[in-house]
Amino acid sequence: MILILLSLIASDTLHINLRQAKEMAIKTNPAYKIDALSHTQSKISLYENLGSNILSPSLSGNYNYSNPGYGIFEPIKGYYFNFSLTQPVFNTSQAASLLQSGINKNAVGYLRKESENQLNYQVESCYLSVLKSQKLFDLRKQGVDRADENMRLVQKKLYLGQASKLDSLNAQVQVAKAKLNYFTSKKDFKVAERFLLNVIGVYRDCEIALEPVETEGKEYAIPPLDSIVEIALKKRPSIKAASLELQESKVAYYKNVLSFLPQVSFKWLWGYGSEEFPQSISEIRDNASKSTGWQGSVGVDFSYPFEFWQSKTTLDKSKLDFLNKRLILAKEIESIWFGYYEIEENLKLAENMFLAAEESDRLAKTQYELGVISAIDLFKVSTDRLEAEITYTNALYDYRLIYTQLQFLIGGN
């Protein structure tokens, strides 16, 4: 990757393939980095909760001086040190928090994978758009060359009296139309390049040299609609994350329900107090008072019914949200699935049309050389062939792109 960037700096031309483009995006995309950091934060939270459920150490030291005054009591002064270890034995709140942290870590991990899949799809979509727009730009350039050549032939025939003024005007219109299409395709190509550079993290103008991807002759087999929806609901990272978020809401609900249960722990306590500052650690250790024992607490306040009600409402919302996400995914897949077969049929028709246009172009050239048809007729056939190739090119890339989109919806890269 470093060599690619050095090459870019040296030549202002970025030579990459699809795999390298995805790798660059993963390293530079801010949204993906945010999701990665969120995953790290969820891990830290889990470790924090895990530590609090093992042992809770506490260390304090202070100097106290008080003088009640009025000569009744002697002044009180001294140095005090306390150290304690508390081991939770039964605490529903801490146990639930630990379980929630573990669930949240896994859910955020799935969301990170979802972000990676989405970024890969975005890169591939932009990559294919550049290749397609570049191909269309080249074809439109050929259209301008053909229109200019036709214009020269018509002007020559007009001078010889073999063409009419109307033929000349039609030729001018064809040149203008070809140039308009050419400039539009040039703009589309530059915009597609800029989008790709942005998504892979290159924020400067430069030329792009992309390795081609296979499109012609490529057939994609997809499962039946019911099967593909079932696969997506099991495999899609965002659905897995939503399922875990629902589990987390359930844990929070039972945490509030069982909050009335007592909290039990075992505690070790060492205390030391003296008017004189201790000279060594061993002096504190030897003279400290030690105590161990069980401690428990229980309490329910008037907010308990409202907390229970709120957690139940949150759980109900989570269930509906999970169901809604599944329905949205199924709807998206159904739409793309039907669109896939429509584009597949369009590709077959576009291919047949292009092959027929190529054959017509070959026959027209032969007939023109034999003097059977005019240059104007030849230009019309050549133009039809060009438009057929443009339609076929669009269909090829649309076919590859909708398959890529379907794979993303299922949960693949």
Find out whether 206 and 8 touch, Cβ atoms under 8 Å: yes
Q: Distances in Å between the alpha carbon of 175 and those of 178, 180, 186, 197?
A: 5, 9, 16, 33
Please state which of the ranges 45-49, 54-58, 141-145, 187-191 shows the lowest mean pLDDT.
54-58
The three-state (H, E, C) secondary structure of 69-116, written as one string: CCCCCCCEEEEEEEEEEEEEEECHHHHHHHHHHHHHHHHHHHHHHHHH
Please state which of the ranges 136-145, 149-158, 213-222 shows the lowest mean pLDDT.
213-222
Q: Are residues 41 and 178 in the same domain?
A: yes
Alpha-carbon span 78 to 62, nearest angstrom: 9
Dig out the tokens for 95 from the structure.
Answer: 């146990």
Q: Are residues 82 and 114 in the same domain?
A: no
Dig out the tokens for 5 from the structure.
Answer: 């960037």
Find out whether 215 and 327 touch, Cβ atoms under 8 Å: no
Indicate which CATH number applies to the domain containing 213: 1.20.1600.10
Q: Are residues 270 and 282 in the same domain?
A: yes
Dig out the tokens for 363 from the structure.
Answer: 């026959």
pLDDT surpassing 70 at residue 133:
yes
pLDDT surpassing 90 at residue 266:
no
Alpha-carbon span 107 to 245, nearest angstrom: 7
Which domain-ending residue is among 297, 315, 349? 297
Dig out the tokens for 48 from the structure.
Answer: 């924090």
Task: For residue 265, give the DSSP letter.
Answer: E
State the CB neighbour count (10 A cutoff) for residue 184.
13
pLDDT reported for residue 300? 67
Q: Are residues 277 and 183 in the same domain?
A: no
Section 260-276 average pLDDT: 84
Q: Are residues 83 and 120 in the same domain?
A: no
State the CB neighbour count (10 A cutoff) for residue 249.
20
Q: How many domains does the chain have?
A: 2
Q: Are residues 8 and 152 in the same domain?
A: yes
State the CB neighbour count (10 A cutoff) for residue 61.
11
Dig out the tokens for 180 from the structure.
Answer: 């308009």
pLDDT surpassing 90 at residue 118:
yes
Label residue 335 by pLDDT band (50, 70, 90): very high
Dig out the tokens for 30 from the structure.
Answer: 């801010």
Indicate the pairing of strand 13-16 with strand 207-210: parallel
Task: For residue 17, give the DSSP letter.
Answer: -
pLDDT reported for residue 71? 52
What is the domain range of residue 306?
Answer: 2-53+91-262+298-410
In one letter, which amino acid is 296? G
Which domain-ending residue is among 297, 315, 343? 297
Section 174-187 average pLDDT: 95
Q: How many CA atoms lie less than 13 Å away from 112 in the CB half-sphere?
A: 18
pLDDT in tens, 292-318: 888 887 776 778 888 888 989 999 999
Which domain-ending residue is among 278, 297, 316? 297
Label residue 411 by pLDDT band (50, 70, 90): confident
Q: Is the pTM of this model over 0.85?
A: no
Section 208-212 average pLDDT: 90
Q: Are residues 71 and 173 in the same domain?
A: no
Buried b (16+ CB within 10 A) or exposed e, 71-94: eeeeeeeebebbbeebebeebbeb
Helix axes 237-257, 304-369, angle to 10 degrees: 170
Find out whether 235 and 413 touch, Cβ atoms under 8 Å: no
pLDDT reported for residue 323? 96
Q: Are residues 280 and 389 in the same domain?
A: no
pLDDT in tens, 73-106: 555 678 888 888 888 888 888 888 889 999 999 9
Q: How many CA atoms lie less than 13 Å away from 68 in the CB half-sphere?
A: 7
State residue 279 phi and psi, 5-degree precision.
-90, -15
Greater model confidence, 309 or 54: 309
Label residue 413 by pLDDT band (50, 70, 90): low
Most confident region among 26-40, 54-68, 259-273, 296-310 by mean pLDDT: 26-40
Greater model confidence, 141 or 216: 141
Q: Show the beta-strand stretches assigned E in 4-53.
A: 13-16
pLDDT reported for residue 10? 47
Section 111-116 average pLDDT: 94
Q: Are residues 46 and 149 in the same domain?
A: yes
Query: Rounded to an integer, what is the distance from CA 132 to the centroid of its chain?
Result: 23
Q: Are residues 255 and 386 in the same domain?
A: yes
Q: Are residues 326 and 212 in the same domain?
A: yes
Q: Are residues 380 and 312 in the same domain?
A: yes
The three-class DSSP label of residue 300 is: coil
Alpha-carbon span 110 to 118, nearest angstrom: 12
- In 3D space, the residue among 311, 330, 325, 119 whose CA is nearest the CA of residue 241 turns out to be 325
State the CB neighbour count (10 A cutoff) for residue 193.
21
Indicate which CATH number applies to the domain containing 80: 2.20.200
pLDDT reported for residue 199? 92
Helix axes 30-52, 18-28, angle to 10 degrees: 50
pLDDT surpassing 90 at residue 208:
no
